[in-house]
Amino acid sequence: MIEAVGLTKRYGKTVAVDNLSFTVEPGRVTGFLGPNGAGKSTTMRMILGLDRPTSGQVLIDGKPYARLDRPLRTVGALLDAKWVHPNRSAQAHLQWLAKSNGLPDRRVDEVLDMVGLTKVAKRRAGGFSLGMSQRLGIAGALLGDPKVLLFDEPVNGLDPEGILWIRQFMQGLAAEGRTVLVSSHLLSEMALTAQDLVVIGRGKLISQSSTTEFVERSTENTVRVRSPHADKLGAMLVDKGFTVREDTDGSLTVSGAQSDEIGDIAAASGVVLHELSPQRGSLEQAFMQLTGDSVEYHAELAETGK
């Protein structure tokens, strides 16, 4: 379990992380979501004791990172797949890591096997593709068989096969009862991977909830209705206080109503329905709505488009 309490990081006058508190539970994949520059990586570095918080603290199973004994056995992390010496072989890279926390050499072969890099173990890591580097990074994170795992934007730049592999891998780790925190700036990706979401913008906590709850709360639900008596039905729905928009093809988009309510109203007045389908707003839209004010660098286009 990871607990952040009042975590704050200032660089001069810039506040990168602002009084951030959240918890990450074991047994679930928790998505750490926010636009680029929201402070996700800074927060992850503070969790690992690499950056010193200006104030506040992070505890891992009740202890600050620096107080963990042989920390790779408790926390595994992949912050950047390129953090490998390009002229060192994958095996040598894992060997020194393993040795530093008193893990046996045999464990190196095990994790290489887990991520499917056994065949290229002796090759220099500088020649690896992004996907292979990512796998090497994950192998490094798994070395100490840790209870807590952190991944920073692990699917960035990967092909669909690589994305699927990582997604399933993380879900597998959580299913084994581990605490998994994955950062991303893509809500659509997180919706597929994470059960819980910690959403931040400009270093501040925007929400912490389950993914379904977040998506339901933040997307606008509408119902699409097609009917030969659209005019009559539209008028009745407006009377009931729902917002109705008529689309160019003659169908109605009703917001604020559940599809069963509309079905009941139509049946009561004998209106024939050709279509009655609940629509879910896009995740991107919801995310934009929530974090829109907290994106650090707005594109000009977005400003004028409002």
Partner 1 sequence: MTLLAVERIKLFSTRSPWWCMLLALGLTVGITAIIAANWTDSPMPVLGAVFTHTFGLYVVMVMAALAVTTEYRFGTIKSTFQAVPDRISPMVAKAVVVVLLSGLVGLASAFGSWGLSWVLAEDNSDLALTTANDWRHVAGVGLVYAAGALLALGVGALVRQTAGAVSIILVFALVVESVVGFIPNIGDDIQKWMPFTVASKFIFGDPDPSAIPNGAGPPAIGELSPWGSFGYFAGIALVIYIVSLVVVKRRDA
Binding region for partner 1 (CB under 8 A): 45, 48-52, 65-66, 68, 71-72, 75, 77, 79-80, 82-89, 92-93, 95-97, 99-102, 140
Question: C-beta of 291: minimal distance to partner 1 in Å?
Answer: 26
Exposure letters 184-215 (e unless 16+ CB within 10 A, then b)? bbbbebbbebbbbbbbbbbbbbbbbeebeebb
Q: Of 87 and 289, which CB lies nearer to partner 1 in the complex structure?
A: 87
Q: Of 60 and 197, which CB lies nearer to partner 1 in the complex structure?
A: 60
Task: Record the tokens describing residue 288, joined without a space.
Answer: 């934009």
Task: Record the tokens describing residue 256, joined without a space.
Answer: 């604020």
- C-alpha 243/C-alpha 240 separation (Å) is 9
Q: Of 51 and 261, which CB lies nearer to partner 1 in the complex structure?
A: 51
C-alpha torsion 106→112→115→121, nearest 10: -170
Q: Of 85 and 240, which CB lies nearer to partner 1 in the complex structure?
A: 85
DSSP assignment of 175-232: HTT-EEEEEES-HHHHHHH-SEEEEEETTEEEEEEEHHHHHHHHSPEEEEEE-TTHHH
The alpha helices in the chain, defined as continuous H runs, are 40-47, 90-100, 105-114, 130-142, 160-175, 187-193, 211-218, 230-239, 259-268, 283-291, 300-305
Question: C-beta of 40: minimal distance to partner 1 in Å?
Answer: 16
- C-alpha 303/C-alpha 298 separation (Å) is 7
Q: Of 32 and 287, which CB lies nearer to partner 1 in the complex structure?
A: 32
Beta strands 29-33 and 179-184 are: parallel
Question: C-beta of 141: minimal distance to partner 1 in Å?
Answer: 10
Q: Of 4 and 233, which CB lies nearer to partner 1 in the complex structure?
A: 4
Question: C-beta of 201: minimal distance to partner 1 in Å?
Answer: 23
Question: C-beta of 21: minimal distance to partner 1 in Å?
Answer: 21
Task: Record the tokens describing residue 112, joined without a space.
Answer: 């290489």
First to last CA, the chain: 41
Question: C-beta of 78: minimal distance to partner 1 in Å?
Answer: 10
Question: C-beta of 52: minimal distance to partner 1 in Å?
Answer: 6
Q: Of 87 and 258, which CB lies nearer to partner 1 in the complex structure?
A: 87
Question: C-beta of 285: minimal distance to partner 1 in Å?
Answer: 36
- C-alpha 116/C-alpha 122 separation (Å) is 13
Task: Record the tokens describing residue 95, joined without a space.
Answer: 């060997």
Q: Of 16 and 233, which CB lies nearer to partner 1 in the complex structure?
A: 16
